[in-house]
């Protein structure tokens, strides 16, 4: 069997459906960061165990859950409350974990927006390490997100995706969250600009390593918001996602502009 660890903060709109999608697990832990809505009540009513910890970073939250959650099974699936596990992914995990030498697995994600799967502008398949052995997988914080801290040869890749409802709480919530994320990204970007680019990963690394190297390289480019829009909407064929693709590509360009503004602000503060 597989334990499930879910991070929450005011997720009463999402947590019920998330928990329903992992009802096959007999060990579900919700790690809450101080919700003042019905998140914890809903989770407890559905049989989840509750942990509480003030949020600092995604990586530290997930690592805390692994260390303090008394998880029952060797394998742990890491989720956010706005994600769902389709039956096909459940079946693939069950089949793969029966005979594997890997310590963790990357899982693809299908991004939903305005009732539409963003097949192109959502850069499908985008992978994150979300399934790992309890005693092996830990996370490092990178920008606003987390990265599995394991050698590439210990990480496998699954085919079936999670379904991600990143806009389930509305556009305003997405903007608020990405305003916070842009602060972390600006801090990370300034660090990256002082480091060497991992050129080897661009050509010979695993898909996740190439994506990270490309992201690090992008922080050195001028006109990043424009390039992000063109990359998502034109090069990645976001135009085929219709109005939802155009809206999402524009929002990503806005996000990059917020990051650039905060980079410039931090530079001025440092120089002064």
The CATH number for 160's domain is: 3.90.550.10
> Which residue has 């049989």 as its token pair?
47
* Same-domain pairing of 157 and 236: no
Domain count, the chain: 2
Co-location of 157 and 112 in the same domain: yes
Nearest alpha carbon to residue 149 among 103, 206, 187, 181: 103
> Are both 90 and 223 inside the same structural domain?
no
Domain shared by 217 and 144, yes or no: no
The answer to whether residues 135 and 51 belong to one domain is yes
**192 is in which domain, residue-wise?**
171-271
Assess whether 52 and 149 both reside in one domain: yes
- pTM across the whole model: 0.87
In a shared domain, residues 127 and 105: yes
Q: 235 vs 2, 47, 172, CA distance in Å? A: 38, 45, 27
One domain, residues 209 and 231 = yes
Q: In this structure, are 105 and 44 located in the same domain?
A: yes
Angle at 86 between CA 167 and CA 176, to 5 degrees: 15
Choose one of 138, 164, 190: the last residue of a domain.
Answer: 164
Do 152 and 218 share a domain, yes or no?
Answer: no
* 18 and 107, same domain (yes or no): yes
pLDDT of residue 215: 74
Indicate the residue among 164, 185, 213 that finishes a domain.
164
Last residue of a domain, one of 164, 197, 216: 164
Cβ-in-10-Å burial (0-12, 13-18, 19+) of 29 comes to buried
Q: Is the same domain home to 242 and 258?
A: yes
Residue-wise pLDDT tens for the chain (272 aa)?
899 999 999 999 999 999 999 999 999 999 999 999 999 999 999 999 999 999 999 999 999 999 999 999 999 999 999 999 999 999 999 999 988 999 999 999 999 998 899 999 999 998 999 999 999 999 887 766 666 778 889 999 999 999 999 999 999 999 999 999 999 889 888 887 776 666 556 566 666 666 677 777 777 888 999 999 999 999 999 999 999 999 999 999 999 999 999 999 888 887 77
Q: Assign 3-class secondary structure to the chain.
A: CEEEEEEECCCCCCHHHHHHHCCCCCCEEEEECCCCCCHHHHHHHCCCEEEECCCCCHHHHHHHHHHHCCCCCCEEEEEECCEECCHHHHHHHHHHHCCCCCCEEEEEEEEEECCEECCCCCCCCEEEEEEEECCCCCEEEECCEEEECCCHHHEEECCCCEEECCCCCCHHHHHHHHHHHHHHHHHHHHHHHCCCCCHHHHHHCCHHHHHHHHHHHHCCCCCHHHHHHHHHHHHCCHHHHHHHHHHHHHHHHHHHHHHHHHHHHHHHHHHC
């Amino acid at each position: 069997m597989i334990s499930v660890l879910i991070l929450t903060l005011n997720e009463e709109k999402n947590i019920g459906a998330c928990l329903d999608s992992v009802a096959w697990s007999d060990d579900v832990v919700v790690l809450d960061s101080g919700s003042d809505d019905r998140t914890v009540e809903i989770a407890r009513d559905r049989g989840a165990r509750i942990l509480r910890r003030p949020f600092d970073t995604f990586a530290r939250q997930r690592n805390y859950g692994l260390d303090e959650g008394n998880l029952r099974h060797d394998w742990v699936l890491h989720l956010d409350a706005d994600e769902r596990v389709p039956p096909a992914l459940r079946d693939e995990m069950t089949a793969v974990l029966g005979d594997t030498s890997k310590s963790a697995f990357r899982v693809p994600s299908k991004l939903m927006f305005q009732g539409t799967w963003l097949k192109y502008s959502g850069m499908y398949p985008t992978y994150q390490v979300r399934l790992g052995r309890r005693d092996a997988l830990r996370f490092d914080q990178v920008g606003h997100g987390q990265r599995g801290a394991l050698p590439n040869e210990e990480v496998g890749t699954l085919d079936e995706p999670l379904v991600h409802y990143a806009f389930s709480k509305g556009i305003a919530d997405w903007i608020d969250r990405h305003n916070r994320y842009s602060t972390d990204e600006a801090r990370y970007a300034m660090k990256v600009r002082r480091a060497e680019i991992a050129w080897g990963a661009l050509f010979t690394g695993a898909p996740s390593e190439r994506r990270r190297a490309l992201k690090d390289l992008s922080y050195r480019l001028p006109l990043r918001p424009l390039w992000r829009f063109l990359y998502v909407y034109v090069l990645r064929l976001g135009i085929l996602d219709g109005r939802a693709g155009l809206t999402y590509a524009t929002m990503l360009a806005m996000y990059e502009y917020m990051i650039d503004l905060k980079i410039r602000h931090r530079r001025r503060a440092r120089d002064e």
